[in-house]
Structure 1
């Protein structure tokens, strides 16, 4: 078959059905992305444009017999064929992806994962199994006579519909160059590995992507969590090899309990993972005892503790630590009151989700904030009453997610944390610092983004890490931009008088794990980066470095859209009456649904809402809203959602 041809072809989907004719245009082509260690493309495509046969005298045609019941490749094509038979339907484009190199597939859902949210694609499906060995095939091997057999050698398929197939095919070529810009086929062999996942998360809605990643990578999961956890139920057994009941309370015995559970398990465990901040040191200690891959226990212990983190920074002299109000008074005797530059930030050393963080304006508020923060975790099994006191940095706050491998940044992206109640100029001690919205990609100037990347790499290395996925939070001092309201939309804008001082980075915290589920999902859709997959591979050590490097490559053109993770906080106290507030909102505003790529309701019918003064930072719902046009359009959509979102209380 030539690289481009057109003919009338008869297809028979199953032996029991009659053949039917379609006009088919064939075209094969290679696209730019290269395989690891070569200068050659790692795949080529075969496009079938399917249309009803034009009216006129009947024409003879060779019959291509498919076996849709046994072959996923044939079943995929059969779907497109049946739609193409409808005279009113636009032409069906079925694109099949073939390997141009031998090797092993990095993850078996490579096509679905990297084409997520691609407007041109109606459906995509990978045809490979995890860890599958791939044998290359050349376009010249394709003929009309052997098409049915050749299709079974393809590794994935795409379906699109358009009255202008040429335009769509050109667009698909561009999208595939952009999205499949990572080496999906790597040298091998790759081996099945087993990972113990400690703490299975609260429900499937905030963990699904992690378990999907494990399956796609060919990693067998053993879940370790408390007796009665939902993953112990048989209904969820497909997600894991086994559930091991284990006391995962955070105390001095956790590491040894994990070691004992691994020793007792009947099969070899190759790595251990958790995404629970407070359990990370225990996991590292268990791995050290077992001889499994890990970063040093000491590094995780520093990252967990905000005081130890701050003391390693070049500007450590600006902050100090106390453990009680009495301790504060002693510190203030040493530090003259005039040396304290208000406002100050007070936060527990062992905190999370900006819990119990306060901004204070005087010594009275400082003492009250220390009292609250020191009491926050005083009764926990790993009790810690230490409190960090540091300057409030009046500059843009950001999330920086980076992947390090052997001390080298192999991936980094930055998002903007928009101002929250505590950032207001007149914020009281009770104003919280819960995130309101996270927008990606960042709107900071390029030099400030580079400064963040360079500074935070140094911070991570100072703590003792060399490899890992890190979710960091920081602010830019002396930024050239600030948040201001233009035409009702709050966003970053250039300052009228740029500061004369050099920009610098003020680190808030380093979390030695992927970002939270909302942000990890958003990054996967925006950039094609799956931090869960990368973290799982890193837990297996250097044998998986080649897959880590492959999967740490974002889309070639960067973010595919502007995305805002928009948090809908508790605005009132009471019992939730609305069954599902996010779903109800989308039903009432169907015009917004196409711009919502992810959402969830946390406080469903029957949930108790404590209102804005809630001690815990649970939100009602969230929406990940996108615009392919501009950041401004994305923020305008956010404004619409925030103004119109509502729920009923009993």
Structure 2
């Protein structure tokens, strides 16, 4: 849109619109939003009516995060676009609007704006506006402006190993920090991608640091924080292996932290199993494992997994001693270390339980159902993630048992604050995964006789948000951003932690499934990726499926080499977050269709 723009009111008042009329911000967000509203009234060369909703707080204070409106109004059917008009920590007067307010004043005092989908029927347009108003009550009925907020600084150890173009969580973390009004100091190795100019806007400072697992590492972290020259208010990492070092450094700097002893247990799978009372055995070689098998009565079938593993890599199900040596020899000790744990394999439904814990209380939790893994349904011999469906299908009493068990486990470990990604199996559950169609499963009433009341078999407790892009499905389903809460909890920003832990008043807005796409090819191929951006291609080719996809990404690019699936290395190549407002069954059907239709080629 070019040339002068004039606005005319119903009483004949006319004024030329200028950027200078709007609040002073780098992007002139309000002015640009108005231009986009006007442009949206032209569709295929014809004028169409549009409805627009502006949102402003009714109380005085600073906005808890600048993008709170688009974060909470995500995936509404009648909305074409939702835009933030706020800057981080922007102050609002909370003064009520009246009929005398002009359009420019309304825009400059708004925290967000919504453009509704075009509809020539005034009746339907009015119905959509009323629906948006109801959803504002559902999604924003908590304290999203408050007094006393000020800019603070957090220091991140490592930052993120994965470049944003290859997925990972960096965009989520640094985007949340910016919206919260937080400055970030990155402590990472020299040459890290966050050190360069391309992403300099994501950080206040970058301090190179030598990594290691030696006794002097905490001292190097302390020195790096001081070298930044900034007053750092919180110190954190998203990597399990660095948690105890961060705790030691935080204690030295006088910053809030959780006890090192809690991390020492939670980040070691053998120690965590022993803490839970499992009959677990630890070994560091095939010979040690076979000696244990010869001298102990192992509770077959057993699970073998690295004590310090991640991403479900090198996790094997073993049925007898003959199979034990073969599976143990496959563990990649260069990636996960030599030590591994052997314990009973629980065949109950696998569950993810994510918990927001603050001052010892659960502020928010959600439970997702992990689809049967390849090693369970016979398609592969690994335990790499397939799908995570939420909300869970488990009976309410079993979900209550899960929450209660993990709450008590976290407290017994010594944790009182943090985001925890917990994994378990529901032993003696009343439900089990059953095949309902080729390549499709659902939790249904079990045919097995109950040996005991349902109980929780803990797999692991990760003192961090879920990895990969799994936080995204929680954002869209419940309106909760785990990365923002991770930083606010580290800062002990109680008011914002309490506010931003509030899910939608009506609960999950839809049934959802995170679909993981892993590489699948034989050892005869090199594993060179020939397909390009397979998720974008699929959604453009199948728009009837695309309308049910909230977020998606292909992590690799044409010409990249993918690890061989037989290597045991996690080979996730893409993901899709899908949803249905109709039913969980529709979600499962869409997931199946997407898997069958995605086109992947290797050479």
User: Is this a same-fold pair by TM over 0.5?
Assistant: yes
Out of 527, 541, 547, the position equivalent to 2:496 is 547
Whether 1:619 and 2:576 are equivalent positions in the alignment is no
1:242-281 correspondence to structure 2 within 5 Å: 242-281=205-244
- Note closer, same or farther for the CA distance 1:111–1:18 as it changes in structure 2 (3 Å cut): closer
- Corresponding residue to 2:127 among 167, 185, 189: 167
- Pair 1:499-2:499 in alignment: no
**Compared with structure 1, are the counterparts of its residues 367 and 258 closer, same or farther at alpha carbon in structure 2 (3 Å cutoff)?**
same
Matches within 5 A, 1:86-97: 88-97=46-55
Secondary structure of the residue aligned to 1:563 is strand
Out of 455, 475, 483, the residue aligned to residue 425 of structure 2 is: 475
Aligned-partner SS, 1:286: helix
Aligned twin of 2:393: 443
1:513 Cα deviation after fit: 0.5
CA distance in 2, matches of 1:582, 1:253: 45
In structure 1, the residue matched to 2:144 is 184
Question: Following superposition of structure 1 onto structure 2, how do residues 361-376 of structure 1 map, counting pairs within 5 Å?
Answer: 361-373=319-331, 376=332
Contact 1:478 1:504 in 2 (8 A): yes
Instruction: Give the secondary-structure state (helix, strand or coil) at the position aligned to 2:179.
Output: helix
Report matched runs for 1:422-433 at 5 Å.
422-424=375-377, 431-433=381-383
Q: What is the number of residues matched between the two proteins? A: 583
CA contact (8 A) 2:206 2:228 kept: no
The answer as to whether partners of 1:197 and 1:222 remain within 8 angstroms in 2 is: yes
Matches of 1:237 and 1:123, distance apart in 2: 29
Which of 291, 299, 314 in structure 2 is aligned with 1:356?
314
Structure 1 residues 196, 396: CA separation in 2 closer, same or farther (over 3 Å shift)? same
Alpha-carbon shift at residue 248 of structure 1 (Å): 2.8
C-alpha contact 2:21 2:104 (8 A) present in aligned 1: no
Partners of 2:6 and 2:286 lie apart in 1 by 84
Counterpart in 2 of 1:321?
Answer: 282
Bigger drift between 122-131 and 431-440 goes to 122-131
Cα distance per residue 1:272-292 (max 9 Å; x no partner): 121111112211111111111
Structure possessing the higher radius of gyration over alpha carbons: 1
Cα offset, 1:119, TM superposition: 1.9
The CA distance in 2 between the partners of 1:272 and 1:462, in whole Å, is: 24
* Correspondence for 1:528 among 467, 472, 479: 479
1:460 corresponding residue in structure 2 = 410
The residue that corresponds to 1:589 in the other structure is 542
Residue in structure 1 matched with residue 366 of structure 2 by the alignment = 413
Q: Deviations over 1:405-453 (max 9, x none)?
A: 11100000011111112224x69xx811101111111111111111111
What is aligned with 1:576? Answer: 529
**Structure 2 unaligned regions, length at least 5:** 23-28
The aligned residue for residue 25 of structure 2 is none
1:367-392 deviations in whole A, cap 9, x for unaligned? 4434544xx33x57xx8533211111
Q: 1:126 to 1:620 in 2, by over 3 A?
A: closer
**RMSD of aligned alpha carbons:** 2.4
Distance in 1 (alpha carbons) for counterparts of 2:50 and 2:173: 34
Question: What's the CA shift for 1:560?
Answer: 1.6
For residues 585 and 17 of structure 1, what CA distance do their matches in structure 2 show? 42
TM-score (structure 1 length as normaliser)? 0.85
Q: Distance in 2 between matches of 1:99 and 1:622?
A: 36
Contact 2:154 2:184 in 1 (8 A): yes
Cα deviation, residue 467, structure 1: 0.6
| 1:607 aligned residue | 560
SS in 2 for 1:235: coil
Shift of 1:89: 4.0
Shift of 1:250: 4.2
> Is 1:139 matched with 2:97?
yes
Distance in 1 separating the partners of 2:6 and 2:230:
51
CA distance, structure 2, for counterparts of residue 20 and residue 503 of structure 1: 66
1:290 to 236, 240, 253: 253
Q: 1: CA distance between counterparts of 2:374 and 2:397?
A: 28
Aligned equivalents of 1:414, 1:231: Cα separation in 2: 33
State whether residues 358 and 431 of structure 1, in contact with CA within 8 Å, keep that contact through their aligned partners in structure 2. yes
Secondary structure of residue in 2 paired with 1:258: helix
* Matches of 1:235 and 1:325, distance apart in 2: 47
| Structure 1 residues 176-219: Cα deviation after superposition (integer angstroms, max 9, x where no partner) | 11211332112x31111111112232111322111110000010
Q: Counterparts of 2:497 and 2:530 in 1: how far apart (Å)?
A: 45
Q: Distance in 2 between matches of 1:347 and 1:500?
A: 27
Report what 1:231 is aligned to: 194
Q: Could you say if the C-alpha distance between residues 61 and 82 of structure 1 is closer, same or farther in structure 2, counting changes exceeding 3 Å? A: farther
The answer on whether the counterparts of 2:517 and 2:573 sit within 8 Å (CA) in structure 1 is: yes
Instruction: Confirm or deny that 1:394 pairs with 2:350.
Output: no
Using the alignment, how far apart are the partners of 1:74 and 1:583 within structure 2? Answer: 31
Gaps of 5+ in 1: 1-12, 24-59
What secondary structure sits across from 1:533 in the alignment?
Answer: helix
| Counterpart for residue 17 of structure 1 | 4
How do residues 11-90 of structure 1 correspond to structure 2 at under 5 angstroms?
17=4, 19=6, 61-63=12-14, 66-68=17-19, 70-71=21-22, 72-84=29-41, 88-90=46-48
CA distance in 2, matches of 1:550, 1:640: 38
TM-score where L is the length of structure 2: 0.91
2:79 paired with 1:111: no
| Higher alpha-carbon deviation: 236-245 or 574-583 | 574-583
Report if aligned partners of 1:474, 1:507 keep a CA contact under 8 Å in 2.
Answer: yes
Residue 498 (structure 1) shift:
5.5
Question: After superposition, what is the alpha-carbon deviation per residue over 1:142-167, rounded to whole angstroms, capped at 9, x for unaligned?
Answer: 415x4433442222221113332210
* Offset of residue 348 of structure 1: 1.2
